[in-house]
Amino acid sequence: MDPVRPTHTRACPAADLRGPLHEPVELDRLTQRERQVLLLLGAGLSNKELSENLGISERTVKAHLSRILEKLEKSSRLQAAMVSVLHHRDLCPSPACQ
Ligand SMILES: [Zn+2]
Coil vs helix vs strand at 77 = helix
| pLDDT of residue 8 exceeding 80 | no
CA 52 – CA 71 distance, rounded (Å): 24
Task: Identify which has the larger pLDDT, 40 or 73.
Answer: 40
The pLDDT value given to residue 45: 97
CA 10 – CA 66 distance, rounded (Å): 35
How far away, in angstroms, is 69 Cα from ligand 1 center? 21
CA 84 – CA 39 distance, rounded (Å): 6
Q: For 44-90, how does the pLDDT look when each residue is reduced to its tens digit (9 = 90+)?
A: 999 999 999 999 999 999 999 999 999 998 989 999 999 999 999 99
The residue-averaged pLDDT of 22-42 equals 93
How far away, in angstroms, is 17 Cα from ligand 1 center? 27
Residues with CB under 5 A from ligand 1 (ion): 92, 94, 97
How far away, in angstroms, is 43 Cα from ligand 1 center? 10
